[in-house]
Structure 1
Amino acid sequence: MEHPAGMLSQAKPYIAVILQQFITAGMVVISKFALNQGLNQHVLVVYRYTIATVVVAPFAFVFERKVRPKMTWSIFGKVVLLGLLELEKVDVRQLSSQAKILGTVVAVGGAMIMTLVRGPILNLPWTNHNLHDHSSTTANQQDLLKGSLMITIGCILWSVFNVLQAITVKVYPAQLSLTALICFTGAIQASVIAFSMEGHKPAAWSLHLDSTLLAPLYSGIMSSGVSYTIQATVMKTKGPVFASTFSPLSMIIVAIISSFALSEILYFGRVIGAAVIITGLYLVLWGKIKDQALYKLDSEKMAPSDQKLTAITDKPKTSDKELEVDLARIKTVDDSV
Protein backbone atom coordinates (compact mmCIF):
# COMPACT_ATOMS: atom_id res chain seq x y z
CA MET A 1 0.00 0.00 0.00
CA GLU A 2 1.31 3.41 -0.94
CA HIS A 3 2.37 5.74 1.85
CA PRO A 4 -0.06 8.62 2.58
CA ALA A 5 2.74 11.17 2.08
CA GLY A 6 3.35 9.82 -1.41
CA MET A 7 -0.35 9.92 -2.25
CA LEU A 8 -0.54 13.52 -1.03
CA SER A 9 2.47 14.45 -3.16
CA GLN A 10 0.82 12.96 -6.25
CA ALA A 11 -2.47 14.72 -5.46
CA LYS A 12 -0.93 18.20 -5.06
CA PRO A 13 -0.99 19.12 -8.78
CA TYR A 14 -4.64 18.09 -9.06
CA ILE A 15 -5.61 20.06 -5.96
CA ALA A 16 -3.66 23.07 -7.25
CA VAL A 17 -5.33 23.21 -10.67
CA ILE A 18 -8.80 22.70 -9.16
CA LEU A 19 -8.10 25.57 -6.73
CA GLN A 20 -6.98 27.66 -9.69
CA GLN A 21 -10.30 27.05 -11.44
CA PHE A 22 -12.22 28.17 -8.34
CA ILE A 23 -10.10 31.36 -8.27
CA THR A 24 -10.81 31.94 -11.97
CA ALA A 25 -14.53 31.37 -11.47
CA GLY A 26 -14.59 33.86 -8.60
CA MET A 27 -12.86 36.43 -10.80
CA VAL A 28 -15.44 35.96 -13.56
CA VAL A 29 -18.43 36.36 -11.24
CA ILE A 30 -17.02 39.36 -9.33
CA SER A 31 -15.89 41.09 -12.53
CA LYS A 32 -19.30 40.53 -14.13
CA PHE A 33 -21.00 42.12 -11.13
CA ALA A 34 -18.57 45.08 -11.19
CA LEU A 35 -19.08 45.60 -14.93
CA ASN A 36 -22.82 45.64 -14.34
CA GLN A 37 -22.21 48.40 -11.80
CA GLY A 38 -20.49 50.55 -14.42
CA LEU A 39 -16.79 49.62 -14.18
CA ASN A 40 -15.04 50.03 -17.53
CA GLN A 41 -13.55 46.78 -18.87
CA HIS A 42 -10.36 48.41 -20.17
CA VAL A 43 -9.73 50.15 -16.86
CA LEU A 44 -10.35 46.90 -14.99
CA VAL A 45 -7.54 45.19 -16.91
CA VAL A 46 -5.12 48.03 -16.17
CA TYR A 47 -5.88 48.01 -12.45
CA ARG A 48 -5.77 44.20 -12.34
CA TYR A 49 -2.24 43.87 -13.72
CA THR A 50 -0.94 46.92 -11.87
CA ILE A 51 -2.16 45.58 -8.52
CA ALA A 52 -0.77 42.13 -9.31
CA THR A 53 2.65 43.60 -10.12
CA VAL A 54 2.76 45.65 -6.92
CA VAL A 55 1.74 42.67 -4.78
CA VAL A 56 3.85 39.92 -6.37
CA ALA A 57 7.08 41.83 -7.11
CA PRO A 58 8.20 42.23 -3.45
CA PHE A 59 7.73 38.52 -2.78
CA ALA A 60 9.66 37.66 -5.93
CA PHE A 61 12.49 40.00 -4.95
CA VAL A 62 12.81 38.56 -1.43
CA PHE A 63 12.25 34.83 -1.97
CA GLU A 64 13.86 34.34 -5.37
CA ARG A 65 17.02 36.39 -5.15
CA LYS A 66 19.23 33.27 -5.23
CA VAL A 67 17.33 31.23 -7.81
CA ARG A 68 16.25 33.94 -10.26
CA PRO A 69 18.30 33.70 -13.48
CA LYS A 70 19.17 36.70 -15.57
CA MET A 71 16.67 37.53 -18.30
CA THR A 72 18.73 37.42 -21.49
CA TRP A 73 17.94 37.69 -25.17
CA SER A 74 18.72 33.99 -25.44
CA ILE A 75 15.94 33.12 -22.99
CA PHE A 76 13.56 35.45 -24.78
CA GLY A 77 14.46 33.80 -28.09
CA LYS A 78 13.68 30.37 -26.66
CA VAL A 79 10.26 31.63 -25.62
CA VAL A 80 9.53 32.66 -29.21
CA LEU A 81 11.12 29.74 -31.06
CA LEU A 82 10.28 26.80 -28.80
CA GLY A 83 6.63 27.65 -28.27
CA LEU A 84 5.31 24.43 -29.85
CA LEU A 85 7.79 21.88 -28.44
CA GLU A 86 7.74 19.54 -25.45
CA LEU A 87 4.03 19.65 -24.63
CA GLU A 88 2.65 16.23 -23.79
CA LYS A 89 3.91 12.74 -24.50
CA VAL A 90 1.30 10.98 -26.62
CA ASP A 91 1.53 7.53 -28.16
CA VAL A 92 -1.66 6.89 -30.13
CA ARG A 93 -1.04 3.14 -29.86
CA GLN A 94 -1.42 3.29 -26.08
CA LEU A 95 -4.91 3.14 -24.57
CA SER A 96 -3.95 5.83 -22.03
CA SER A 97 -2.98 8.29 -24.78
CA GLN A 98 -6.19 7.54 -26.66
CA ALA A 99 -8.14 8.31 -23.48
CA LYS A 100 -6.30 11.63 -23.07
CA ILE A 101 -6.99 12.67 -26.65
CA LEU A 102 -10.65 11.63 -26.46
CA GLY A 103 -11.07 13.26 -23.05
CA THR A 104 -9.65 16.56 -24.32
CA VAL A 105 -12.01 16.57 -27.29
CA VAL A 106 -14.98 15.68 -25.07
CA ALA A 107 -14.15 18.42 -22.55
CA VAL A 108 -13.84 21.04 -25.28
CA GLY A 109 -17.11 19.82 -26.77
CA GLY A 110 -18.79 20.17 -23.39
CA ALA A 111 -17.52 23.74 -23.11
CA MET A 112 -18.97 24.52 -26.54
CA ILE A 113 -22.31 23.00 -25.49
CA MET A 114 -22.40 25.17 -22.37
CA THR A 115 -21.67 28.26 -24.47
CA LEU A 116 -23.89 27.72 -27.52
CA VAL A 117 -26.72 25.37 -26.46
CA ARG A 118 -29.44 26.67 -24.16
CA GLY A 119 -32.44 24.37 -24.11
CA PRO A 120 -35.27 24.67 -21.59
CA ILE A 121 -35.00 26.99 -18.61
CA LEU A 122 -34.55 25.33 -15.24
CA ASN A 123 -37.14 26.87 -12.92
CA LEU A 124 -35.01 27.43 -9.85
CA PRO A 125 -36.55 29.54 -7.07
CA TRP A 126 -33.55 31.86 -6.67
CA THR A 127 -33.08 32.84 -10.35
CA ASN A 128 -34.39 36.01 -11.97
CA HIS A 129 -36.72 34.94 -14.79
CA ASN A 130 -37.19 38.55 -15.94
CA LEU A 131 -33.79 38.27 -17.60
CA HIS A 132 -35.25 35.83 -20.12
CA ASP A 133 -37.40 38.52 -21.72
CA HIS A 134 -34.32 40.58 -22.55
CA SER A 135 -32.23 37.65 -23.71
CA SER A 136 -34.58 36.80 -26.59
CA THR A 137 -34.18 40.08 -28.48
CA THR A 138 -32.27 40.35 -31.78
CA ALA A 139 -29.64 42.59 -30.23
CA ASN A 140 -28.86 40.06 -27.54
CA GLN A 141 -28.72 37.26 -30.14
CA GLN A 142 -26.08 39.30 -31.98
CA ASP A 143 -24.25 39.87 -28.70
CA LEU A 144 -24.30 36.10 -28.15
CA LEU A 145 -22.60 35.54 -31.50
CA LYS A 146 -20.03 38.26 -30.81
CA GLY A 147 -19.42 36.84 -27.37
CA SER A 148 -18.92 33.33 -28.74
CA LEU A 149 -16.44 34.63 -31.31
CA MET A 150 -14.51 36.56 -28.66
CA ILE A 151 -14.48 33.52 -26.37
CA THR A 152 -13.03 31.43 -29.20
CA ILE A 153 -10.31 34.00 -29.86
CA GLY A 154 -9.64 34.25 -26.14
CA CYS A 155 -9.26 30.46 -25.86
CA ILE A 156 -6.74 30.42 -28.72
CA LEU A 157 -4.70 33.23 -27.17
CA TRP A 158 -4.91 31.57 -23.74
CA SER A 159 -3.58 28.34 -25.25
CA VAL A 160 -0.64 30.20 -26.77
CA PHE A 161 -0.04 31.86 -23.40
CA ASN A 162 -0.01 28.47 -21.64
CA VAL A 163 2.50 27.04 -24.10
CA LEU A 164 4.81 30.04 -23.82
CA GLN A 165 4.58 30.02 -20.02
CA ALA A 166 5.41 26.30 -19.89
CA ILE A 167 8.50 26.79 -22.04
CA THR A 168 9.59 29.92 -20.20
CA VAL A 169 9.41 28.34 -16.75
CA LYS A 170 11.91 25.68 -17.88
CA VAL A 171 14.57 28.22 -18.74
CA TYR A 172 13.47 30.80 -16.15
CA PRO A 173 12.51 28.67 -13.10
CA ALA A 174 11.50 31.54 -10.82
CA GLN A 175 7.71 31.37 -10.74
CA LEU A 176 7.08 34.52 -8.69
CA SER A 177 9.48 36.60 -10.77
CA LEU A 178 7.92 35.28 -13.97
CA THR A 179 4.45 36.18 -12.68
CA ALA A 180 5.62 39.69 -11.79
CA LEU A 181 7.13 40.16 -15.25
CA ILE A 182 3.98 38.90 -16.97
CA CYS A 183 1.78 41.25 -14.94
CA PHE A 184 4.15 44.20 -15.46
CA THR A 185 4.18 43.84 -19.23
CA GLY A 186 0.43 43.24 -19.17
CA ALA A 187 -0.09 46.46 -17.22
CA ILE A 188 1.93 48.44 -19.78
CA GLN A 189 0.04 46.99 -22.75
CA ALA A 190 -3.35 47.42 -21.09
CA SER A 191 -2.50 51.02 -20.14
CA VAL A 192 -1.71 51.93 -23.74
CA ILE A 193 -5.04 50.50 -24.92
CA ALA A 194 -7.06 51.95 -22.05
CA PHE A 195 -5.62 55.47 -22.36
CA SER A 196 -6.20 55.48 -26.10
CA MET A 197 -9.86 54.52 -25.63
CA GLU A 198 -10.78 55.92 -22.21
CA GLY A 199 -8.17 58.60 -21.57
CA HIS A 200 -10.66 61.42 -22.21
CA LYS A 201 -13.12 59.99 -19.64
CA PRO A 202 -11.83 60.66 -16.11
CA ALA A 203 -14.98 59.14 -14.61
CA ALA A 204 -14.11 55.76 -16.14
CA TRP A 205 -10.99 55.57 -13.93
CA SER A 206 -12.75 56.24 -10.64
CA LEU A 207 -13.19 53.49 -8.05
CA HIS A 208 -15.54 53.29 -5.09
CA LEU A 209 -15.83 51.19 -1.95
CA ASP A 210 -17.95 48.57 -3.66
CA SER A 211 -17.57 45.90 -6.33
CA THR A 212 -15.71 48.34 -8.60
CA LEU A 213 -12.83 48.19 -6.10
CA LEU A 214 -13.25 44.53 -5.16
CA ALA A 215 -13.00 43.36 -8.76
CA PRO A 216 -9.51 44.84 -9.46
CA LEU A 217 -8.23 43.74 -6.04
CA TYR A 218 -9.47 40.17 -6.36
CA SER A 219 -8.52 39.73 -10.00
CA GLY A 220 -5.10 41.30 -9.43
CA ILE A 221 -4.12 39.47 -6.25
CA MET A 222 -5.89 36.14 -6.71
CA SER A 223 -6.48 35.63 -10.44
CA SER A 224 -3.22 37.12 -11.72
CA GLY A 225 -0.87 36.86 -8.74
CA VAL A 226 -1.82 33.58 -7.08
CA SER A 227 -3.34 31.83 -10.11
CA TYR A 228 -0.43 32.55 -12.48
CA THR A 229 2.04 31.32 -9.85
CA ILE A 230 0.06 28.11 -9.31
CA GLN A 231 -0.11 27.57 -13.05
CA ALA A 232 3.62 28.09 -13.56
CA THR A 233 4.42 25.68 -10.72
CA VAL A 234 2.12 22.97 -12.07
CA MET A 235 3.36 23.42 -15.63
CA LYS A 236 6.94 22.97 -14.45
CA THR A 237 6.16 19.39 -13.39
CA LYS A 238 3.07 18.38 -15.40
CA GLY A 239 3.23 20.45 -18.56
CA PRO A 240 0.75 22.86 -20.19
CA VAL A 241 -1.70 20.22 -21.39
CA PHE A 242 -2.38 19.00 -17.86
CA ALA A 243 -2.97 22.52 -16.56
CA SER A 244 -5.17 23.50 -19.49
CA THR A 245 -7.32 20.38 -19.32
CA PHE A 246 -9.04 21.64 -16.18
CA SER A 247 -9.98 25.04 -17.66
CA PRO A 248 -13.54 23.99 -18.65
CA LEU A 249 -14.15 23.16 -14.98
CA SER A 250 -14.32 26.89 -14.21
CA MET A 251 -17.34 27.20 -16.53
CA ILE A 252 -19.27 24.76 -14.35
CA ILE A 253 -18.29 26.66 -11.20
CA VAL A 254 -19.25 29.99 -12.78
CA ALA A 255 -22.65 28.65 -13.84
CA ILE A 256 -23.39 27.45 -10.31
CA ILE A 257 -22.13 30.55 -8.48
CA SER A 258 -23.73 33.05 -10.89
CA SER A 259 -27.05 31.24 -10.51
CA PHE A 260 -26.99 32.00 -6.79
CA ALA A 261 -25.00 35.26 -6.60
CA LEU A 262 -26.30 37.01 -9.74
CA SER A 263 -29.70 35.24 -10.02
CA GLU A 264 -28.85 34.28 -13.60
CA ILE A 265 -31.04 31.80 -15.45
CA LEU A 266 -29.67 28.28 -15.66
CA TYR A 267 -30.45 26.45 -18.89
CA PHE A 268 -30.65 22.71 -19.35
CA GLY A 269 -28.05 22.90 -22.12
CA ARG A 270 -25.50 24.16 -19.61
CA VAL A 271 -26.20 21.20 -17.35
CA ILE A 272 -25.66 18.80 -20.26
CA GLY A 273 -22.44 20.62 -21.19
CA ALA A 274 -21.23 20.39 -17.58
CA ALA A 275 -21.82 16.63 -17.54
CA VAL A 276 -19.89 16.27 -20.81
CA ILE A 277 -16.99 18.33 -19.40
CA ILE A 278 -16.79 16.15 -16.30
CA THR A 279 -16.76 13.03 -18.50
CA GLY A 280 -13.90 14.46 -20.56
CA LEU A 281 -11.89 15.36 -17.46
CA TYR A 282 -12.38 11.84 -16.11
CA LEU A 283 -11.02 10.34 -19.33
CA VAL A 284 -7.97 12.62 -19.27
CA LEU A 285 -7.23 11.86 -15.63
CA TRP A 286 -7.65 8.15 -16.24
CA GLY A 287 -5.14 8.36 -19.06
CA LYS A 288 -2.67 10.30 -16.91
CA ILE A 289 -2.95 7.73 -14.10
CA LYS A 290 -2.35 4.89 -16.56
CA ASP A 291 0.69 6.72 -17.95
CA GLN A 292 2.13 7.05 -14.46
CA ALA A 293 1.54 3.35 -13.80
CA LEU A 294 3.31 2.40 -17.06
CA TYR A 295 6.22 4.71 -16.26
CA LYS A 296 6.54 3.17 -12.78
CA LEU A 297 6.45 -0.35 -14.26
CA ASP A 298 9.16 0.50 -16.78
CA SER A 299 11.32 1.93 -14.00
CA GLU A 300 10.96 -1.25 -11.97
CA LYS A 301 11.92 -3.38 -14.99
CA MET A 302 15.07 -1.33 -15.49
CA ALA A 303 16.05 -1.50 -11.83
CA PRO A 304 17.46 -5.12 -11.79
CA SER A 305 19.81 -4.48 -14.72
CA ASP A 306 20.98 -1.30 -13.03
CA GLN A 307 21.66 -3.26 -9.84
CA LYS A 308 23.72 -5.86 -11.78
CA LEU A 309 25.74 -3.11 -13.40
CA THR A 310 26.33 -1.54 -10.01
CA ALA A 311 27.44 -4.88 -8.55
CA ILE A 312 29.98 -5.34 -11.38
CA THR A 313 31.41 -1.86 -11.11
CA ASP A 314 31.47 -1.92 -7.31
CA LYS A 315 33.77 -4.97 -6.91
CA PRO A 316 36.44 -4.40 -4.24
CA LYS A 317 39.66 -3.08 -5.68
CA THR A 318 43.14 -4.30 -4.71
CA SER A 319 44.91 -1.78 -2.50
CA ASP A 320 48.49 -0.61 -3.12
CA LYS A 321 49.71 -2.34 0.03
CA GLU A 322 48.26 -5.71 -1.03
CA LEU A 323 49.85 -5.27 -4.46
CA GLU A 324 53.29 -4.69 -2.87
CA VAL A 325 52.95 -7.87 -0.77
CA ASP A 326 52.07 -9.91 -3.87
CA LEU A 327 55.06 -8.56 -5.79
CA ALA A 328 57.37 -9.39 -2.86
CA ARG A 329 56.11 -13.00 -2.83
CA ILE A 330 56.73 -13.32 -6.56
CA LYS A 331 60.28 -11.98 -6.13
CA THR A 332 61.00 -14.46 -3.33
CA VAL A 333 59.89 -17.37 -5.48
CA ASP A 334 62.11 -16.22 -8.36
CA ASP A 335 65.17 -15.94 -6.06
CA SER A 336 64.66 -19.44 -4.70
CA VAL A 337 64.46 -20.83 -8.20
Structure 2
Amino acid sequence: MPLPTQLRRRYCLWELLVFTAMVTVECANVGVTTIYKAAVTMGLNYHVYMAYSYAIAAAFLLPLASLIHRNTPLPPLTVVLLGKFFILGFLGFTGQYLMYLGIAYSSPTLGSAMSNLTPACTFCLAILFRLEKLKLRSLSSQAKIIGASVSIAGALVVVLYDGPMLIPAPDRDDLRISIIDRVMSGAQYDWVLGGSLLAAGYIVASVWYIFQTIFVKEYPA
Protein backbone atom coordinates (compact mmCIF):
# COMPACT_ATOMS: atom_id res chain seq x y z
CA MET A 1 0.00 0.00 0.00
CA PRO A 2 1.60 3.35 -1.02
CA LEU A 3 2.34 5.91 1.68
CA PRO A 4 0.33 9.16 1.82
CA THR A 5 1.93 12.16 0.14
CA GLN A 6 2.55 14.04 3.42
CA LEU A 7 4.16 11.00 5.05
CA ARG A 8 6.32 10.42 2.00
CA ARG A 9 7.50 14.04 2.09
CA ARG A 10 8.40 13.76 5.77
CA TYR A 11 10.33 10.58 5.09
CA CYS A 12 12.25 12.21 2.21
CA LEU A 13 13.03 15.27 4.34
CA TRP A 14 14.28 13.05 7.16
CA GLU A 15 16.48 11.09 4.77
CA LEU A 16 17.84 14.35 3.35
CA LEU A 17 18.54 15.63 6.87
CA VAL A 18 20.41 12.44 7.80
CA PHE A 19 22.43 12.56 4.58
CA THR A 20 23.30 16.24 5.14
CA ALA A 21 24.38 15.48 8.70
CA MET A 22 26.65 12.66 7.51
CA VAL A 23 28.25 14.85 4.84
CA THR A 24 28.76 17.62 7.43
CA VAL A 25 30.45 15.19 9.81
CA GLU A 26 32.78 13.94 7.07
CA CYS A 27 33.71 17.52 6.10
CA ALA A 28 34.35 18.32 9.77
CA ASN A 29 36.59 15.23 10.08
CA VAL A 30 38.61 16.35 7.07
CA GLY A 31 38.99 19.81 8.60
CA VAL A 32 40.06 18.38 11.96
CA THR A 33 42.68 16.08 10.43
CA THR A 34 44.11 18.93 8.33
CA ILE A 35 44.32 21.27 11.34
CA TYR A 36 45.87 18.49 13.42
CA LYS A 37 48.50 17.76 10.75
CA ALA A 38 49.32 21.46 10.52
CA ALA A 39 49.68 21.70 14.31
CA VAL A 40 51.92 18.63 14.49
CA THR A 41 54.04 19.90 11.59
CA MET A 42 54.55 23.18 13.47
CA GLY A 43 55.80 21.26 16.53
CA LEU A 44 52.73 20.50 18.69
CA ASN A 45 52.96 17.14 20.46
CA TYR A 46 50.02 14.87 19.61
CA HIS A 47 49.69 13.84 23.28
CA VAL A 48 49.09 17.48 24.19
CA TYR A 49 46.64 17.84 21.29
CA MET A 50 44.62 14.83 22.49
CA ALA A 51 44.63 16.11 26.09
CA TYR A 52 43.25 19.47 24.95
CA SER A 53 40.60 17.88 22.74
CA TYR A 54 39.40 15.53 25.50
CA ALA A 55 39.33 18.33 28.07
CA ILE A 56 37.28 20.62 25.83
CA ALA A 57 34.91 17.79 24.88
CA ALA A 58 34.38 16.82 28.53
CA ALA A 59 33.77 20.44 29.57
CA PHE A 60 31.10 20.75 26.87
CA LEU A 61 29.44 17.31 26.95
CA LEU A 62 29.23 16.57 30.69
CA PRO A 63 27.00 19.58 31.56
CA LEU A 64 24.97 18.94 28.40
CA ALA A 65 24.39 15.29 29.31
CA SER A 66 23.43 16.23 32.87
CA LEU A 67 20.96 18.81 31.58
CA ILE A 68 19.31 16.51 29.04
CA HIS A 69 18.98 13.49 31.37
CA ARG A 70 18.20 15.35 34.61
CA ASN A 71 14.65 13.91 34.71
CA THR A 72 15.48 10.52 33.20
CA PRO A 73 15.59 7.53 35.58
CA LEU A 74 18.94 5.84 35.04
CA PRO A 75 20.11 2.34 36.06
CA PRO A 76 22.38 2.22 39.13
CA LEU A 77 26.12 2.38 38.49
CA THR A 78 27.51 -1.07 39.23
CA VAL A 79 31.07 -2.40 38.96
CA VAL A 80 30.14 -4.28 35.78
CA LEU A 81 28.65 -1.14 34.22
CA LEU A 82 31.70 0.93 35.13
CA GLY A 83 33.87 -1.79 33.58
CA LYS A 84 31.91 -1.48 30.35
CA PHE A 85 32.38 2.30 30.44
CA PHE A 86 36.11 1.71 30.85
CA ILE A 87 36.15 -0.63 27.82
CA LEU A 88 34.35 1.98 25.72
CA GLY A 89 36.72 4.72 26.86
CA PHE A 90 39.80 2.57 26.26
CA LEU A 91 38.68 1.54 22.77
CA GLY A 92 37.77 5.11 21.84
CA PHE A 93 41.09 6.47 23.10
CA THR A 94 43.12 3.71 21.41
CA GLY A 95 41.40 4.21 18.07
CA GLN A 96 41.85 7.98 18.16
CA TYR A 97 45.47 7.66 19.29
CA LEU A 98 46.33 5.34 16.40
CA MET A 99 44.55 7.62 13.92
CA TYR A 100 46.39 10.74 15.08
CA LEU A 101 49.71 8.90 15.11
CA GLY A 102 49.06 7.62 11.58
CA ILE A 103 48.22 11.12 10.33
CA ALA A 104 51.42 12.42 11.96
CA TYR A 105 53.40 9.89 9.90
CA SER A 106 51.46 10.40 6.67
CA SER A 107 48.99 13.07 5.56
CA PRO A 108 45.37 14.26 6.08
CA THR A 109 44.51 12.93 2.61
CA LEU A 110 45.52 9.41 3.57
CA GLY A 111 43.62 9.74 6.86
CA SER A 112 40.44 10.73 5.04
CA ALA A 113 40.84 7.92 2.49
CA MET A 114 41.45 5.29 5.17
CA SER A 115 38.26 6.29 7.00
CA ASN A 116 36.43 4.21 4.36
CA LEU A 117 37.59 1.15 6.30
CA THR A 118 35.24 1.96 9.19
CA PRO A 119 31.89 1.04 7.55
CA ALA A 120 33.40 -2.08 5.94
CA CYS A 121 34.94 -3.35 9.20
CA THR A 122 31.81 -2.43 11.17
CA PHE A 123 29.68 -4.43 8.73
CA CYS A 124 31.95 -7.49 9.03
CA LEU A 125 32.05 -7.29 12.84
CA ALA A 126 28.28 -6.74 13.03
CA ILE A 127 27.82 -10.05 11.20
CA LEU A 128 30.21 -11.82 13.61
CA PHE A 129 28.38 -10.37 16.63
CA ARG A 130 25.03 -11.26 15.03
CA LEU A 131 23.90 -7.62 15.00
CA GLU A 132 23.49 -7.82 11.23
CA LYS A 133 21.81 -10.61 9.27
CA LEU A 134 23.52 -11.58 6.05
CA LYS A 135 21.14 -12.70 3.32
CA LEU A 136 23.02 -13.42 0.10
CA ARG A 137 19.84 -13.27 -1.99
CA SER A 138 18.90 -9.88 -0.58
CA LEU A 139 19.76 -6.84 -2.70
CA SER A 140 20.63 -4.87 0.44
CA SER A 141 23.12 -7.50 1.65
CA GLN A 142 24.69 -7.76 -1.83
CA ALA A 143 25.16 -3.98 -1.94
CA LYS A 144 26.78 -4.01 1.52
CA ILE A 145 29.16 -6.84 0.54
CA ILE A 146 30.19 -5.05 -2.67
CA GLY A 147 30.63 -1.75 -0.81
CA ALA A 148 32.73 -3.37 1.95
CA SER A 149 34.95 -5.12 -0.62
CA VAL A 150 35.51 -1.94 -2.62
CA SER A 151 36.27 0.06 0.57
CA ILE A 152 38.87 -2.45 1.78
CA ALA A 153 40.46 -2.75 -1.68
CA GLY A 154 40.61 1.03 -2.05
CA ALA A 155 42.22 1.43 1.37
CA LEU A 156 44.89 -1.15 0.48
CA VAL A 157 45.66 0.63 -2.80
CA VAL A 158 45.98 3.99 -1.03
CA VAL A 159 48.39 2.54 1.55
CA LEU A 160 50.57 0.43 -0.75
CA TYR A 161 50.77 2.83 -3.71
CA ASP A 162 52.86 5.95 -3.13
CA GLY A 163 52.37 8.04 -6.24
CA PRO A 164 54.16 11.21 -7.35
CA MET A 165 53.86 14.32 -5.18
CA LEU A 166 51.30 16.68 -6.70
CA ILE A 167 52.41 19.79 -4.83
CA PRO A 168 56.18 19.61 -4.21
CA ALA A 169 57.84 21.76 -1.61
CA PRO A 170 60.00 24.70 -2.82
CA ASP A 171 63.68 23.86 -3.39
CA ARG A 172 65.10 27.10 -2.02
CA ASP A 173 66.24 26.81 1.58
CA ASP A 174 65.80 30.52 2.29
CA LEU A 175 62.13 30.47 1.26
CA ARG A 176 59.66 30.37 4.12
CA ILE A 177 57.23 27.48 3.71
CA SER A 178 53.65 28.19 4.73
CA ILE A 179 51.63 25.88 6.93
CA ILE A 180 49.60 24.54 4.00
CA ASP A 181 52.77 23.82 2.00
CA ARG A 182 54.27 21.91 4.91
CA VAL A 183 51.11 19.89 5.34
CA MET A 184 50.81 19.07 1.64
CA SER A 185 54.50 18.25 1.20
CA GLY A 186 54.29 15.47 3.81
CA ALA A 187 57.75 16.17 5.24
CA GLN A 188 59.19 13.42 7.44
CA TYR A 189 56.45 10.89 6.88
CA ASP A 190 56.37 7.15 6.35
CA TRP A 191 53.46 6.35 4.03
CA VAL A 192 53.13 2.62 4.74
CA LEU A 193 53.62 2.97 8.50
CA GLY A 194 51.12 5.83 8.65
CA GLY A 195 48.60 3.87 6.57
CA SER A 196 49.01 0.79 8.77
CA LEU A 197 48.45 2.85 11.92
CA LEU A 198 45.39 4.47 10.37
CA ALA A 199 44.02 1.07 9.33
CA ALA A 200 44.51 -0.27 12.86
CA GLY A 201 42.86 2.84 14.30
CA TYR A 202 39.78 2.56 12.11
CA ILE A 203 39.46 -1.17 12.85
CA VAL A 204 39.54 -0.38 16.59
CA ALA A 205 36.93 2.32 15.93
CA SER A 206 34.71 -0.31 14.29
CA VAL A 207 35.01 -2.51 17.39
CA TRP A 208 34.16 0.56 19.49
CA TYR A 209 30.99 1.14 17.45
CA ILE A 210 29.92 -2.47 17.99
CA PHE A 211 30.46 -2.36 21.76
CA GLN A 212 28.74 1.01 21.97
CA THR A 213 25.70 -0.41 20.19
CA ILE A 214 25.56 -3.28 22.70
CA PHE A 215 26.17 -1.19 25.84
CA VAL A 216 23.83 1.65 24.93
CA LYS A 217 20.86 -0.72 25.14
CA GLU A 218 21.71 -1.31 28.80
CA TYR A 219 22.49 2.33 29.62
CA PRO A 220 20.77 4.59 27.02
CA ALA A 221 22.07 7.83 28.58
- The alignment status of 1:153 with 2:200, answered yes or no, reads yes
Residue 31 (structure 1) shift: 0.7
Aligned to 1:102: 146
Aligned to 2:214: 167
Unaligned runs of 5+ in 1: 175-337
Aligned to 1:113: 157
User: Per the alignment, in what secondary structure is the counterpart of residue 134 of structure 2?
Assistant: coil
User: Per the alignment, in what secondary structure is the counterpart of residue 194 of structure 2?
Assistant: helix
Residue 87 (structure 1) shift: 2.8
Q: Which amino acid aligns with 1:156?
A: I
Percent sequence identity is 33
Contact 1:115 1:148 in 2 (8 A): yes
User: Per the alignment, in what secondary structure is the counterpart of residue 160 of structure 1?
Assistant: helix
Cα distance between partner residues in 1 of 2:73 and 2:30? 31
Relative to structure 1, the CA distance from residue 62 to residue 78 in structure 2 (aligned partners, 3 Å threshold; closer, same or farther) is closer
- CA deviations 1:99-151 (Å, max 9, x no partner) are 111111102222332333233454xxxx444489x879xx75xx223212212
Aligned to 2:8: 3
Relative to structure 1, the CA distance from residue 89 to residue 13 in structure 2 (aligned partners, 3 Å threshold; closer, same or farther) is farther
- Of 2, 13, 18 in structure 2, the residue corresponding to residue 13 of structure 1 is 18
Larger RCO (CA under 8 A, 6+ residues apart) = 1
Unaligned runs of 5+ in 2: 88-125, 171-180
Cα distance between partner residues in 2 of 1:103 and 1:78? 31
Cα distance between partner residues in 2 of 1:99 and 1:20? 23
State which structure, 1 or 2, has the greater radius of gyration over its C-alpha atoms. 1
Cα distance between partner residues in 2 of 1:170 and 1:45? 29
Aligned to 1:144: 191
- Of 39, 55, 61 in structure 1, the residue corresponding to residue 60 of structure 2 is 55
| C-alpha RMSD over aligned residues | 3.0
Contact 1:92 1:98 in 2 (8 A): yes
Residue 76 (structure 1) shift: 5.2
